[in-house]
Amino acid sequence: PLNGGAILALGVSPLNSSVVYAATAPFPGSLPRGVFRSLNGGVSWNNVSGSLPDRFPTDFAVDPLDAGTVYLTFSGFGSPHIFKSTDFGGNWSDISSGLPDIPFNAIVIDPYYPDYIYAGSDIGVYVSEDAGVTWNAFSEGLPDAVIAMSLSISPLNRKLRVATHGNGAYQRPLLEPPAAIADADPVVTQGFSLEQNYPNPFNPATTIRYALNKALPVTLQIFNARGQLMRTLVNREVQHPGEFSVQWDGRDRSGSKAASGVYIYRLTAGGQVAVRQMVLVK
């Protein structure tokens, strides 16, 4: 079902393992590179190469929250090196603007913050904080002009790990969005307080605790990292003073299990709002 070329890159959706991407090597004069997509776990494949450059593909990264959003890197010189599709490979966009014209060997997505993307090149690592719109160097602590061959992320330790060509392996903390940095003290506002969920990170369930010092109408909701409503746990219920605990079972409104990642829980009471973050791991 593929084109007979050697498979150089393979990507599987963390959200739906039936969605698989594969890329094969070109053979000069007889075989172009091939980029393929399967929606049924490899039973059948569609060629989604489109207008991608006829270069050696090196790595895929699939968005953990969207199986149709995928990134692909290329080696070589003289053509763009990182491409993105948001429709399962139907169309590809060049997102290499601002990057040097050098081979790119690896790409990974932060599973908790999917807009944060790390790419390894022949002169180090680059990071995008906006899903590939802009890029910045991220090579502090690495040898000069090091060839970054492979990247991986340790989600719980919040580390990026870099395997180099001939210079060993390194790790450094991932970038964190400003909103992700919060202390563990309860969020206290007039009329109520909101505590950090426990356990955190969690799987499969966690408990959210809050306290009211007067009767208030309460709404407690869960959102994903993109701001989409996942679940309403308490819906405009008038509650009397006291302490409350609500369990979230890690499922969305349809009853489906939520993907690994960062989630926001928001308590609204008497017109005031408190927000905290939690991490679901699988």
Cα 95 to Cα 98: distance, rounded to the nearest angstrom:
9
Global pTM reads 0.68
Between 30-39, 179-188, 233-242, the lowest mean confidence (pLDDT) is in 179-188
Q: What are phi and psi of 244, to 5 degrees?
A: -135, 150
Q: Which domains does the chain have, with CATH numbers?
A: 7-177 (2.130.10.10), 182-280 (2.60.40.4070)
pLDDT digits over 78-120, tens only? 999 999 999 999 999 999 999 999 999 999 998 877 889 999 9
Q: What are phi and psi of 180, to 5 degrees?
A: -80, -10
pLDDT digits over 203-250, tens only? 999 999 999 999 999 999 998 876 778 999 999 899 999 999 999 999
Higher model confidence: residue 238 or residue 65? Answer: 238
Which residues does residue 206 pair with via DSSP β-bridges, in sequence order?
A: 248
Q: What are phi and psi of 194, to 5 degrees?
A: -125, 125
Is 85 within 8 Å of 70 (Cβ atoms)?
yes
Minimal CA–CA distance to 59: which of 115, 117, 131, 101?
117
Is 56 within 8 Å of 30 (Cβ atoms)?
no
H or E, element range at 121: strand 117-121
Give the model's confidence band at 256: pLDDT under 50 very low, under 70 low, under 90 confident, else very high. very high
